[in-house]
Amino acid sequence: MLDIVNLNKTFGKTKVLADINLKVGRGEMVALIGASGSGKSTLMKHISGLVAADRDSGHVAVGGRSVQCGGLVCGDIRKTRTDIGVVFQQFNLVSRLSVTTNVLLGALGRTPLWRSLLLAFRQGDRELAVEALRKVGIADKADQRASTLSGGQQQRAAIARALVQKASVILADEPIASLDPESSIMVMELLRKLNREEKITVLVSLHQVDYAIKYCTRAVALCCGRILYDGPCESLTAEKMKAIYGLGAAGMFESARAEHRHQVPAPSAGMPVGEMGENALGAWVQGGTCLGQQKCQHPACRSMSGGSASHRESGPQPGGWSAVDGHNGGIGAQRLLAAI
């Protein structure tokens, strides 16, 4: 789906991308990680054809169609971009327009100029917008001005815009960088859901490595404009994180992995659920599991089992919420379910 060969970019005397070779298959969800200034956003702009590479570069192609080659953006780039949905950190919504109209802007690539100027979108596109808003969970906000939405709701509106665009690839450039933890979970859950159910290829740049491990199967790490790691998220190690982010990253990485390894047990039938138990239930409903012989001392597990629970630490399960959600996130089961 994405094919990048020998991509280079220089600003002045600074090489910001060097010998980038990357392939992303159809239906993959890949995390692009790296420190600030490593080249993540610049790479995203090259994939969408917003920036031309150096003349000594190879090519960038999306869905078999060329975006740029030899440092020249292709002449039919506007047609190619209709297949590429971009979700920005700052949402890029028109604040004075309604949520529905903002979402309908995703159809501009196939809308005649006169219709675009009058915002006279076709009925089929309007129906598509209603369905997109339903999928992202903000159908009740359709007639509100975009400026009245919260940050998480605005980001979901931006994702709905990509759905109306009928994009087969979504480039999400730090989509949760300006969101609170609960909204971040909702946005990442939505991207994963669209990836799995709609088979949309997702490339998402993240600073939060724990989110990359939890939601993506593959990570591509940039450091000083070069790909330092490309492989399964589960194979990321403290040493690799130290090389990518610096010496201070190893401890934070191990802490995040330890939290994600702990999975919460299912409650038995009729078991009372208190405040901490509700958090644990939210974790369990998503598919978490606690196995093994040793006793779990997490408050949520004690609440669910009347004092203690048997568990072992294991890797994150597909679709499962980790201990950071169940024990430390402060999010009840109802809100967790609403985030799906």
Q: Cα separation of 11 and 6, whole Å?
A: 17
Angle at CA 339, nearest 5°, toward 337 and 340?
75
Q: Are 178 and 151 in contact (CB under 8 A)?
A: yes
Superfamily of domain 2-258: P-loop containing nucleotide triphosphate hydrolases (3.40.50.300)
- Count H helices, E strands: the chain? 14, 13
Residue 249 has what pLDDT? 60
88-138 residue pLDDT tens: 888 899 999 999 999 999 999 999 999 999 999 999 999 999 999 999 999
Query: How many beta carbons lie within 10 A of that of residue 77, not counting itself?
Result: 16
Q: Which amino acid is at 336?
A: L
| pLDDT tens string 308-326 | 333 333 333 333 333 333 3
CA 68 – CA 247 distance, rounded (Å): 37
| Average pLDDT, 10 consecutive residues per value, the chain (340 residues) | 95 94 96 93 95 94 94 92 91 94 94 93 96 95 95 94 94 92 93 94 93 94 94 89 75 58 42 35 34 38 39 37 34 36
CATH 3.40.50.300 residue ranges in the chain?
Answer: 2-258
Alpha-carbon gap, residue 247 to 18, rounded angstroms: 23
